[in-house]
Amino acid sequence: MRWWILILIIMTIPFTNLLASEDENSTRDQRLIDKIEELEKQVKELTEESKARKILKITDEEKAEKEKEVLSAAGRSYTLLAKGSLELDYRFSYDYAASDSVREAFEIERTYNHTITHTLSSTYGVFDNLSLNVNLPFVYRYHKLDTVDEMDETDIGDISFSLQFQPMKSEKGSYAAIFNFSVVTPTGRSPYKINTETELSTGSGLFSYQAGMNISKSIDPLIVFGSINYSYRQTLTGLDQQFSGSILEKVEPGDSVTVGIGYAYSLSYRVSFNQQFQYSFAYGSKYSFAGATAESPSRSSATLLFGTGWKVSSKTSFYINLGIGLTRDDPDFTLSVRVPFEFIL
């Protein structure tokens, strides 16, 4: 009897091993399935994250347009219009300057000067790298001496024409250089053809020519920029202006050099901010009177500018700039607002 039991036990051993092997295989299969499901979940999460990043990521064209918008807030001369585009531009600016002068012993005069300028501009993109611009200013000036004498004048200002040229297309991460040339015409009321005791001028009274270069570069998250410009002013002859008991016959205005540097960055897709510093050095001018000459000394001026740009829609933005004079030859402050409208012809 015992030997039958022994035979039965021996015969059941293979079936026991088989069941154990099946249980192990089943466990391994379940583990493999769990790992596959975990990998599928991770792949799905990575795919969704990639899609989200792709949606948020801006293209090179969008980035270039964003940089153009930021630089436009800093100054129109740092960007060019696309070929066939026309931009109409309205700018309002207000300058205020006040100073004290000693008239006689123990008598000090306080002088106030207010200037409001409305400027209409038109810029046309001849090519992608060449733009033409014309500016038409309307000027209101108010001058007050102490609390007694005051004068005001409203008239057209000096109309200017300018050309902007970008010889080389800027590559990503490289510098963008734009050359400019402008002519200012003496269309405003000339300071050399008025009675300075009763009238105010609204223009310079002479032709002036300016040439310069503007450079910008994107250094995330900033855009840095700088400029240098040289101005030449035409000599005036044949004048016949009464000036402090003498007759002014000739004016030889001094040339000037202006440099600027600044930075700008985007606070959001709609708002940008910029800060600039501008310095100008002007050589002295020479005045020829009947039988005598006089020269004015060279002078320096400096201005600190703060600006912001607000994108109202895909086609409309407006820019606000505040300039603070740092020398006696500058206005105390200048506030300007610019609203451009762009059209595709």
Dump the DSSP string for 146-165: TTTEEEEEEEE---EEEEEE
Confirm if 134 and 152 have CB atoms less than 8 A apart: no
Dump the DSSP string for 286-337: EEEETTEEEEPPPEEEEEEEEEEEEE-SSSBEEEEEEEEE-STTS-SEEEEE
| Domain 60-344 = CATH 2.40.128.130 | yes
Amino acid type, 262: G
Question: What phi and psi, each to the nearest 5 degrees, are found at residue 54?
Answer: -65, -35
338 band by pLDDT with thresholds 50, 70 and 90:
very high
Predicted confidence (pLDDT) at residue 26 exceeds the cutoff of 80: no
Confirm if 177 and 214 have CB atoms less than 8 A apart: yes
pTM above threshold 0.85: no
Dump the DSSP string for 91-106: EEEEEEEEEEEEEETT
4 band by pLDDT with thresholds 50, 70 and 90:
very low
49-63, 201-215, 270-284: which has the minimum mean pLDDT?
49-63
The alpha helices in the chain, defined as continuous H runs, are: 2-56, 60-74
Distance CA 299, CA 309 (A): 32
Tell me the CA distances in angstroms from 140 to 3, 154, 304, 319, one per residue in order: 128, 4, 24, 22
Cβ-based neighbour number of residue 212 at 10 Å: 19
183-199, pLDDT tens digit by residue?
A: 999 999 999 888 888 88
Amino acid type, 165: F
What residue spans define the domains of the chain? 60-344
Tell me the CA distances in angstroms from 200 to 195, 204, 227, 252, one per residue in order: 8, 11, 32, 21
Cβ-based neighbour number of residue 137 at 10 Å: 21
Distance CA 179, CA 166 (A): 6
To the nearest whole number, what is the mean pLDDT of the chain? 83
Cβ-based neighbour number of residue 229 at 10 Å: 19
Predicted confidence (pLDDT) at residue 31 exceeds the cutoff of 80: no
115-139, pLDDT tens digit by residue?
A: 999 999 999 999 989 999 999 999 9
What value does the CA radius of gyration of the chain take, rounded to a whole number of Å?
36
220-239, pLDDT tens digit by residue?
A: 888 999 999 999 999 998 88
